[in-house]
Chains A and B, each alone.
Chain A
Amino acid sequence: MTVGNLIRGVVLLTLVLLLVRPDLFGGFFGLFTKNNQPAIYNQGNLLDITYEHLKLVLLATLASTLIAVGLAIIVTRPFGAEFLPLSRSIANVGQTFPPVAVLALAVPMLGFGWQPTLLALFLYGLLPIFENTLTGLTNLPPAVTDAAKGMGMTGWQRLIKVELPLALPVILAGIRLSVVISLATATIGSTVAARTLGEVIIAGLLSSNTAFVLQGGLIVGVLAVLIYDALSALERWLMARTGQLGRAAA
């Protein structure tokens, strides 16, 4: 077992323990409380909240992936090339719009709860996936795409059998960026009553309880690092499998 894997294992184990048996960490978080404040978040189950948080991020990323990859596929086909600038600007707007503003604008329409957050995360996640899919689909080895065409594959067959599989590691890198951004951004969803780990942080801020803020922040941070790491490993494996190591990856 390498040092890297050892660290991964220890971090994962610590996270799981913190979520399942938070009381074990009471002593540690107690260091950050004053005036007999509770050391462990007591207005909900950390595991449940984390689960809701992840669910929201997963849903948003799935939606972003579907739309962004779909758009990128359309604009890289001959019939969709003229939509390239338009779809680029849509994705860019999604990225420039601050998630807080999306929340504020979405609440009157969608009401309080998880829906405005999902919308904000979805919009925010589009650009990295879209840009990476574009890069992946347009930077394929020319000899390979030429051969695919010369063998007599139709446009659809080339896309499914050659272009998407080869672009997959690069697309995955985009999804990885999007997931990590969403994991952090989802916390502000709690300002409009979405059930996310932001709830723990906000509770800590309202009651000046540093232990709560630290708990919420740590769980989000560690989740982000672990997911980032796992997706990177998957990308490397895919690239190595297809002999493309060193070809791309942002």
Chain B
Amino acid sequence: MIEIDDITKVYSGTAVVDRVSLTIEPHTICVIVGTSGSGKTTLMRMINKLVEPTSGHIRIDGEDIAGIQAYELRRRIGYAIQGHGLFPHRTVGQNIATVPKLLGWDKAKIANRVDELLTLFQLDPAEFRDRLPHELSGGQQQRVGVARALAASPNILLMDEPYGALDPVIRAKAQEDLLSIQRRFGTTIVLVTHDMEEAIHLGDRIAVMDKGKLLQFARPAEIIANPATPFVAELIGTSERPFRLLSLARVADHIEPGVVDGEAINDTASLRDAYAELLWSGRPALPVRHEGQIVGQVTLAQLSRLAARPQ
């Protein structure tokens, strides 16, 4: 659990982060979203002491981080950034081994961990371990960056616009990978982005920041349905609201009995995908497939109802 308690950071007279308090529950993804200059990155960087707060406290599992040596704290917290920040003169394997080596793990354990992580990120260890970062594609570099951040199995992972430099296709894949890794290890993730779409897709909770202030901290559905200020509403985009709401739920949770003909949709798809498919194919209902079996249908009428503003 990360407790941010009345934290303020002042740079030359201006409060970049202004009396922000929020509590991030363990094993959840908290996305901090805002425009550039909103203080979102500064807020995140105070969690691993890359920025010292002017006032206020941050506690991790009840322990005030002010009392922990900065470098020791950082070795316990994963850190992945935009543009990956891989060490260009060290191989992929050496990059991933950075924190375990700082922690003094023995060689065999480090080598095992490196191979395990490469495999987890769908990079063949034999092929990639000894390559240099500049020999990889952007998506591969990004994966190595996250693998490096996770190397010492930290409980907390901080990510600063990790997908900012990726093209949309690779970004979607990277986001799915992150979600599955988070589910598998239960890592508490704090992710900073300017992209509300990404925030809604990844976040268990979203913190919206503007001009150093925390405007709203709530679940995505709550933020979409009841934006706290006009600025939050603007970030969501009023015309996007129904679709964003639909994107939060899976087909699996809204299957209705009944049989219809035509191309089926997987129950793992989001309602938004189902809605798009319904509109595009001009059908009033789609059959739903679960592990190859047709298990029911999803209807346009029901989706329209679900897309309406929650009462």
Contact = CB atoms under 8 A, between A and B. Distances in A.
Interface of A: 141, 143-144, 146-154, 157, 161-162, 165-166, 241-244
Contacts of B145: 147
A161 B98 CA distance: 10
Interface string B37-73: 0000000000010100000000000000000000111
A147 B75 contact: no
B79 interface: yes
Given A143-B83, A146-B85, 15 more contacts: A143-B85, A144-B85, A144-B86, A144-B87, A146-B81, A150-B79, A151-B74, A151-B99, A151-B102, A152-B76, A153-B102, A241-B89, A241-B132, A242-B134, A243-B133
Nearest to A165: B89
Interface string B72-109: 11111001011111111100000000110010000000
Contacts of B134: 242-243
Contact of A242 (B50, B75, B83, B88): B88
A243 B88 contact: yes
B89 A147 contact: no
Given A150-B48, A150-B74, A152-B72, A143 B84 contact: yes
Given A150-B48, A150-B81, A151-B102, A242 B89 contact: yes
B142 to A, nearest CB: 12
A164 to B, nearest CB: 10
13 contacts: A143-B82, A143-B85, A146-B85, A147-B85, A147-B86, A148-B85, A150-B158, A151-B74, A152-B72, A153-B98, A166-B87, A166-B89, A241-B89
B148 to A, nearest CB: 8
B75 A151 contact: yes
Given A162-B87, A242-B89, A243-B132, A152 B82 contact: no
Interface residues of B, number: 28
A244 B86 CA distance: 13
> Across chains A and B, which 7 residue pairs bring their CB atoms closest together, nearest first?
A243-B134, A147-B85, A152-B74, A152-B75, A150-B79, A143-B85, A242-B89
A250 B96 CA distance: 33
Contacts of B148: 151
A241 B71 CA distance: 29
A144 B88 contact: yes
Contacts of A165: 89
A148 B87 contact: yes
A200 B75 CA distance: 62
B5 to A, nearest CB: 22
Contacts of A153: 71, 98, 102
A87 to B, nearest CB: 27
Contacts of A157: 102
Nearest to A145: B85
A143 B81 contact: yes
A154 B132 contact: no
Contacts of B99: 151-152
Interface centre among A152, A153, A154 (most CB of B within 10 A): A152
Contact of B74 (A141, A143, A149): A149
Contacts of A151: 74-75, 79, 98-99, 102, 148
